[in-house]
Chains A and B, each alone.
Chain A
Amino acid sequence: MDELNTWRTRSRKPLNVLARVAVLATVLLAMPRAVLPPLEVGPQQAVETQHPITCTHTRLTDEVEPWKILRTLELVREMGAPTVVEYFPWAYYEPEAGLYDFAAAELRIDLAANQGVGVIARLGGIVPSWARPQNADGTPGPDTFLPEEHFPDFADFVAAFVERFDGRLAAIILWNEPNIALEWGFRRPDPEAYTRLIRLAADRAHAADPDLIVLAGALAPTLEPEGSDLALNDLVFLERMYAAGAAEVLDGLAVHAYGLSFPPDDPPAPDALNFRRVELVREVMARYGEGEAPIYVTEMGWNDSPRWTRAVRPGVRIDYTIAALAYAEAHWANVPAVCIWAFRYPAPQRSYGDYFTLVTPEFVRKPIYDAVRAWAVEDLWP
C-alpha cells in the first residue's frame, strides 16, 4: 500500500533534523513581520427566517482570526438562524482575580450583532488557575474543579460579564453539564452544590441586568444512577436542583437533546436517551411550578460519522435534524430556540466529532447546512 508511505515517520537522522531547523530559523529570521489587514465589517444585517426557532451552537471560542469569526456569523445569518449559543470560558476572561479582559468576547458579540444574530452566552467551564485547588506537586488541579470557597468569584465574573454586555445578550447559561464528573472537576456530581453556585451567580446577574434571561447549565442526557462517580441521571439531578431551590433564581432551563440513532419522534421514556427527553424535563419543571418557563435546547443533533456506533447515515441525519426542528416548533410551547451542535470547528478534530458540524473548518458548507437553510429561509423540506 504505497499510499501509507506518505504518512509514515521517516528516520530521524540528526543532521537531517538540524539542517531543517537551520533552514527554518533562517527563513523565520528573514521573514517580515506579518500584518493582518483590518477587518472590514459591512452594514448592519438582519436574519431572514421563516422558522426563528432555528439556532446553532458556534465554536468561536478558539477561533483566532477575526475574519473567520465574521464569516462564521455571516453563514449563520444566511442559514436563517437568528440566535447562536457561544461559549465564554471564565479562565479566558479573568486570568487574575478581579482582572477582566473582555476584548475577545466584545469582538464576537459585536460581530454577531452586526449580522443581526443574538447570542446566548454560556459562561463558566474552565476555572482560572487561581481559583482551582492545587495538585500535590503544586500545579493547578482539574480545570473544571471549582471549590465552594470560590463560588462567589464565579458570581463576580458573571456580574462583570453581564454589566459589560448589558442589553446585548439573548440569555446566559451558568456552567455546562454539571451532572457529569468531567464538567465538575472529576468529582461526583452534586446537584445541591451546583444549585448554591447558580443561586449566587443568578442573583448577581439579575442585579446587573434585571431583564436578562438566566438559564441553568444544560445537563448531559445520561442514565447514570445515584452514587456513580462518573455522572448522575439528568432527570434525577434536575429534580434535586429544584428541591434545593433552583427555581427561585432561574428564568428557564438550557437543555441538551441529542437524538443518537433514534428518530426525532421516538417517544420519551425515563430509560431512553433521545430527542424528546426534553418532554420529561418539562414534566420535572411543571412539578415545581415552572411548567411555563422557557426551555432553550442549546445543543441537539445527530452524527453521521462512518466510525461512530451512535451515528446515522448522512441523509438520515439531514432528515432527522429538519424533522426535529419542525417537531419542536409544532409541539413544544415556550421553546424559543433549538440549537444544532455544532456549526463549525476552528480546526478538524479528526474524530467522529467532526461529523456533528454543518460547515467544515475550511468553510465548505455541508449538504445539511443547505438543507437547514432551505427549511429555515424558504420553508423547503429536504
Chain B
Amino acid sequence: MKCDRLVGRLRRLNWPAQLGLAALVVAVAAGALWVGGTILAPDDRIWARIQSERVLRVATDASYPPFSAVGPDGALYGLDVDLANALGDRLGVTVRIENITYDALLQALASERADLVISAFVADLNQLDDAAYSDPYFVAGLRAVVPHDDPGELDSLAPWTWAQARVLGVEYGSMGDVLSRQWARRVAGLTVERYETAADALDALLAGEVTAVLVDAVTAHAIVGAQDAVRLSGPTLDPEPYVIATGARSPQLLREVNRILAELEADGTLSALRQKHLGMDD
C-alpha cells in the first residue's frame, strides 16, 4: 500500500519534476556503480607478475615494416619494437619480445603467454572479452598528398568539394579507389587515375601527372618525409588507430600503459619514433 501511495505521488508531479527525479535516480545508481567498480576491481595478476619478475612480455607480428620486422641479422626492429623497449624503460623492467603470427596475437594475451600486444594493431571490438586497448600511438588510414604549393586543404566533412576538378591518383581496388568513386558520383570534373600500387600513384604525383593522391597513411608519411615537393592535405580519412592491447583483466597494466604513452607523447619520444621509422613530422 505504501508503494501504491508513493507511485500516486510520483504521478502527481509535473513532467519536469519527473524527469529531474529520474535523472537523479540514474545519477545515484551510476555513482554507486562507479564507486563499487573502483572498490571491487579485480586484482591484476599480470601487473603483479610484471612487478615481481621485472619482465614485460610483448607479442608482435614481425612482418610489417616499419612497425615490426626481422632484420638481416635476425633481430627485430621497427617502431613497435622501440615503443616496447621505451615502455620497459619507463617501467624499469626487462622487455622480452616474441614474434607471433598476427592471427594468434590476442590468443597470446588470453593464454597469458604475453602481457602486451604491440604490433600495429587495430582494436578488434569483437574480442573485448579477451582484450582491452590503450590510447592510440598512430592513426593509419588514408591520406591525401598534394604538391607543396597546392592552395586547397581537404575537409573531411566535405572531401568531394576538395576533390572537384582534380586529377586524383589512387591504387586500383584500394579504399582510396572506393572513396574516389564515391566522390566522382557527387562532383563534376573529378578525374581518377588508377595505378597498380600506392607508390606508383605517388610517382605520378611527383611527375605532375596527377594533382593529388589518396593513399595509405604509412606510404603517405614516407613520401612526404622524403620529398619537399609534396605535403599532406587534411586529416586521415577512414582512420584506423593503432593501439597496444592488454588482457581484458589487466586494468592496472592498461592504466600504466596509457600513463606512459602520455608521457612519451608529452616529452617528444613518440614523435621522435614516428619521425625515425615513418619519416613523419608531427
A-side residues, CB < 8 A to B, are 1-4, 7-9, 14, 17-19, 21-23, 25-26, 29-30, 304, 306-309, 313-315, 317-318, 349-352, 360, 364, 366-368
Contacts and interface: CB of A to CB of B under 8 A. Distances in A.
Interface stretch (B1-9, B22-30, B82-90, B161-169): B22-30
Given A21-B26, A309-B61, A7 B135 contact: yes
Interface of B: 19, 22-24, 26-27, 30-31, 34, 61, 63-64, 102, 120, 122-126, 135-140, 171-174, 177-178, 181-182, 194, 196-197, 216, 218, 235-236, 239-241, 258, 262, 265, 270-271, 274, 280, 282
Given A8-B135, A25-B22, A351-B122, A306 B63 contact: no
Contacts of A25: 22-23, 26-27
B82 to A, nearest CB: 16
Contact of B178 (A22, A30, A366): A366
B30 A1 contact: no
Nearest to B240: A350
A303 B22 CA distance: 50
A4 B139 contact: yes
Contacts of A21: 26-27, 30
Given A7-B239, A26-B22, A352-B102, 12 more contacts: A3-B139, A3-B235, A19-B27, A23-B23, A26-B23, A309-B64, A309-B102, A313-B171, A315-B172, A315-B194, A317-B173, A360-B178
A313 B215 CA distance: 13
Contacts of B120: 307
A367 B258 contact: no
Contacts of A360: 178
B173 A368 contact: yes
5 contacts: A3-B236, A17-B34, A304-B173, A349-B124, A350-B122
B26 A4 contact: no
A161 B162 CA distance: 53
B274 A1 contact: yes
B39 to A, nearest CB: 14
Contacts of B126: 349, 351
A8 B135 CA distance: 5
A313 B258 contact: no
Nearest to B135: A8
Contact of B177 (A4, A14, A29, A367): A367
Contacts of A313: 171, 173, 196-197
Nearest to B19: A26
B136 A314 contact: no
A137 B136 CA distance: 36
> Main secondary structure on chain B at its contact with chain A?
mixed
A314 B172 contact: yes
A142 to B, nearest CB: 13
A306 B216 contact: yes
Contacts, number: 113
Contacts of B216: 306
A9 B181 CA distance: 34
A314 B171 contact: yes
A39 B125 CA distance: 30
Contacts of A306: 140, 216, 218
Given A318-B173, A364-B178, A29 B22 contact: yes
B135 A307 contact: no
A272 to B, nearest CB: 18
Nearest to A20: B30
A4 B265 contact: yes
B125 A22 contact: no
B225 to A, nearest CB: 14
A351 B218 CA distance: 17
- Residue of A4, A308, A366, A368 contacting most chain B CB atoms (<10 Å): A4
A307 B175 CA distance: 13
A306 B171 CA distance: 12
A18 B27 contact: yes
Contacts of A314: 171-174, 177
A9 B135 contact: yes
Contact of B102 (A1, A9, A308): A308
A367 B235 contact: no
Contacts of B241: 4, 7
B275 to A, nearest CB: 11
Contacts of A368: 173
Nearest to A29: B22
The 7 A-B pairs at the shortest CB distance, nearest first, are namely: A314-B173, A25-B26, A315-B172, A22-B23, A309-B63, A21-B30, A8-B135
A76 to B, nearest CB: 19
B131 to A, nearest CB: 12
A46 B29 CA distance: 55
B34 A22 contact: no
A188 B265 CA distance: 46
A9 B194 CA distance: 38
Contacts of A17: 30, 34
